[in-house]
Structure formats: structure tokens, C-alpha cells
Amino acid sequence: MLRRLPTREELAARIAEDIPEGAVVNLGIGAPTLVANFIPEGREIIFHTENGMLGMGPAPSARRLDPDLINAGKQPVTERAGAAYFHHADSFAMMRGGHLDLCVLGAFQVSENGDLANWSTGQPGAVPAVGGAMDLAVGAKEVYVMTDLFARSGEPKLVNTCSYPLTAPRCVKRIYTDHAIFDVTRHGFRVREIFGGLSPHDLEARTGLKLHD
């Protein structure tokens, strides 16, 4: 157990540990893109980008930066040996056709039955930013979420029922947060791993949720 709360980089590395050998994976815009930088040495993971690349590598050093080589979030990336490029429509066909083993997405809310809300808070004036999240959430074989457990307002992002517009229903399998890792089960959230010396009781008290062993 990590006796302190992890940094985003450490959480990304923890997610990378759980991605199986040979998986084809899409990383959502924002913090999930960090996962590509921490794949364990010797493990082959094939990263897919929404804008038409298969075989994305980690972020480049300043010397290797190529302004024409970017991910869907317009961040510079590298390419692995054997990388392929294709039309945006073909990329979405891969996503929608069930050809991705896993995606890692951010979230505003995740409900205890696995509903995902990650594109709008529904607030007046908020800019919607769904991108390809709906396609990934329903097309990938498994969906992991990487997010802080609490919003800036202090409200928990894990909830009984989402109050924000849904991206997709019943799609999330696991949530990696800065306080703990949770699995979504038919009985609700199950605590898989806890950080910072917290207990399941502490998490229940702070989130208002019933957590399962």
C-alpha cells in the first residue's frame, strides 16, 4: 500500500502495470495520455490514437519532437517500430467495431453500475467536449477510468447515480483515482487498492458510498 497519495505520473504507471501484453489500447485526452510513458520494459502494448495512428510511443524528448506527429489531444508523441497511419474514419471504425482491447478515459462522474459521464457537467455556458469518448466507451472491450476521486468542489466523482449527461451506460470496469482503485461489480464499487494509509471506512465516510470488499 502506498502510504501517501500518488502523483498523476505514479497513477499512470500503476495503470500501465495492469495493461496486458499485446493489448490494443486508446488513451483519452488529458491525464490518461501519461500512461504511454510508463509501459514496463519488455511489454508490447499497441497504442491507437483517435486521429489515425496505430503504434504510438511515449512523449518525445525535445530533440525527437516532430510537430507533424501528434495524438488526438494535439500533444507531440513518438512512433514505435511498425507504426501505421490511416484515415480518421478508419480510426473510428476500429473504435466502433470492437477492435480495441482497452481504453483509459477521464471522468466527471462514474456511477456504481458503471455509467460514465465525462463530456459535460451540464452547467450553463460549459463547453461540451465529447470527442470520440462515446465511441470508445461502447466500442472498447474494457473501459478504465483515470481521475481524481474528488472534484475541485469537494464532491466525489464516484456516485450512486450520475447527475451529469451520460457518455455511455454500464461501460466502466475499473476506476483509478488518487485515493484508491475501484472495480465496478454487480454489487457496486469494490475497493481494489487504497493509497495514503486510508481505510475502506474512511473512503465510505468521504464519498457517502457503500463499498464492497
Beta bridge mates, 183: 174, 190
CA 63/CA 6 separation, integer angstroms = 29
Beta bridge mates, 53: 49, 85
Q: Is 20 exposed, middle or buried (0-12, 13-18, 19+ CB in 10 A)?
A: exposed
DSSP conformational letter for 36: G
Q: What number of CA atoms fall less than 13 Å from residue 111's CA on the CB side?
A: 18
Report which of 103, 86, 122, 87 is spatially closest to residue 26, judged by C-alpha positions. 103
CA 84/CA 82 separation, integer angstroms = 6
**Are the CB atoms for 163 and 109 separated by under 8 Å?**
yes
The number of angstroms, rounded, from the C-alpha of 33 to the middle of its chain's C-alpha atoms is 8
Single-letter residue type at 193: E
Catalytic residues: 50
Question: Look-up: residue for cell 503504434?
Answer: 55
CA 49/CA 130 separation, integer angstroms = 15
